[in-house]
A and B are shown apart, each in its own frame.
Chain A
Amino acid sequence: MRGPVIRRAIGLYGAGALLLLVAAFPLLWMLATSLKPSGEIFATPPTLVPAHPTATNFTRLMAETNFLLFFQNSLAVSLTTVLLTLTVSALGAYGLTRYTFAGREKIAGLILLTYMFAPIMIIIPFYILVRQLGIANTHLALVLSYTTFCLPFCLWLLRAFFQSIPLELEEAALVDGAHRGKAVWYVVLPLALPGLIAAGIFTFILAWNDFLFALVLITSEELKTLPVGVNDLFNATIVDWGMIMAAGVMITVPTVAFFVAVQRYLIQGWGAGGVKG
């Protein structure tokens, strides 16, 4: 009996190590490169762990490029998008679960259908529309586009969470004399917190990662967000790999930090709705 058990353990841990390598090694390699001085980056054989770690790539990235500006822009746009998306979708999901009206189910279905449209399929009319509205080349245009494209998913996710919260809890609060706003704020929202956090993270990641809308809608250098800004950096005549990898690390940090902080909620939300990409 021992033989098979040990073989199984070896198989499991071997496969686990392989999976860890596939998923994490490229990212660790990026981190290692970002910490190497330029001579070591091109050394043969390459060093796995930097022999002479340095922060030069990072300090040069901050000092010599617009990276910090792009970072601020990305952060401002992403956080505004999260706030707007959560507000709009929480209101909508509450309306969808707590009130009955004709066509309610049809509307929920239609919203799900719009989830199937990839931005690339409507980017041209979208661009023309944004120009007509006079908001081309503004952060507002980015916030509105990200909010709109996150809404179908967030509405469905929050709808599922609101449906699972018993109506009686809310009614009990109303009986106790709270008005509806208070009942929602103190009873419903805390119970839906995992859903709100999951929706918030999805929205943040979509806004933080987006390339297409930022490429098409923003033309001024000082309004650019990270993905487009870093791509411009990459397309400079000579690629400075150390600096590019430092930029890669810097863009990845907020996502990973957010994710680690709220992983529990995220997996829960993911199970409830799936996420597009």
Chain B
Amino acid sequence: MRKNALTGWLLLAPSLLLIGGLILYPILYNLWLSLFDKHAFMPAQSFVGLRHYRYFATDPEFWSSVYYGVVYAAVTMVFQLVLGVAAALLLNEAFRGRNLLRGVVLFPYLIPTIVAVILWKWLLNDSYGLVNHLLLVAGLVRTPVAWLGKDYIMPSLIITSVWQFFPFVVVTYLARLQTIPPELYEAARVDGATAWRRFLHVTLPATRTVLFVIILLRSIWMFTKFDTVWLMAGDGAVSRYIRTLPVYAYARSFTYLQAGMGAALAVLMFGMLLAATGVYFRLFRDEELRS
């Protein structure tokens, strides 16, 4: 290890300049901005203190966006987790074609969001979509379902999002599964444990930490997801049935051009995530102490 501090700093300088200038500074500026009334383009601004925050406390649109955001994040997270863990367990077994499948399963996660969304809008199209066709043929519905109408737009958004993001769970969980020593399973098998019991008593305890991280990251990333939600309905008529907090913050800033209010929403979003993360860590620690 060399002790030439100056060279070390110089090598890091471009990174620090970019991260400091384009992430850290905007974070602080955002806090500051949330105390002002400011148009998104015009330079004029006036100090209003905590007025935006007081406004949102009784703003029905804000509370509905929190509600939709929590529902969206929680439901998509649970389905991604179940589907992702099941797929990872499968891909951890030995069978022919496994490596190919490990690659293919990643595709939904790698393609651009715009592709995932137009693809599912086509599959879920009410008149010509394949999903409605199959449902009708199977006799499960009598008339085509308006998947992208106001009643089903949230389920459709959830289906699209789960499909798009479950591969993250697969890869992360699989990486951990592969490090569990096979002897543990051998021992359990000798003891006559069924596959379900082996999962419960060997796999689950060994993967607790990675599950903790997956749940945390996926919840945060789904709660702050903008593009999938926005692209699903744009600012069309049904958009208000899936208007989550990030979309509301975007609309305040770039549709109503109220940059100060948008900034306040971003601060509130961050505050909620921080509080939820704190509670989550505490729960996990208590759980850890008990077991």
Contact = CB atoms under 8 A, between A and B. Distances in A.
A100 B221 contact: no
A234 interface: yes
Contacts of B221: 118, 276-277
Interface string B31-42: 001000000110
B238 interface: no
A46 B254 contact: no
Nearest to A248: B115
Interface string B156-189: 0000000101011001100100000000000000
Nearest to A256: B107
Nearest to B18: A148
A235 B279 CA distance: 42
Interface residues of A, number: 91
23 contacts: A19-B91, A23-B105, A27-B111, A42-B128, A94-B11, A96-B12, A98-B2, A100-B1, A101-B5, A118-B226, A123-B250, A125-B26, A127-B40, A129-B29, A205-B110, A208-B112, A209-B113, A235-B234, A244-B122, A248-B115, A251-B111, A252-B112, A255-B111
Interface of A: 9, 12-13, 15-16, 19-20, 22-24, 26-27, 29-30, 33, 41-42, 44-46, 88-89, 91-92, 94-96, 98-102, 104, 107, 111, 114, 116-129, 131, 144-145, 147-149, 151-152, 155, 167, 205, 208-209, 211-212, 216, 226-227, 230-231, 234-235, 241, 244-245, 247-248, 251-252, 255-256, 259-260, 263, 267, 270-271, 274-277
Interface of B: 1-5, 7-12, 14-16, 18-19, 21-27, 29-30, 33, 40-41, 83, 87, 90-91, 93, 95, 97-98, 101-115, 118-120, 122-123, 125, 127-128, 130, 133, 137, 163, 165, 167-168, 171-172, 175, 217, 220-221, 224, 226-227, 230-231, 234, 246, 249-250, 253-254, 259, 262-263, 266, 269-270
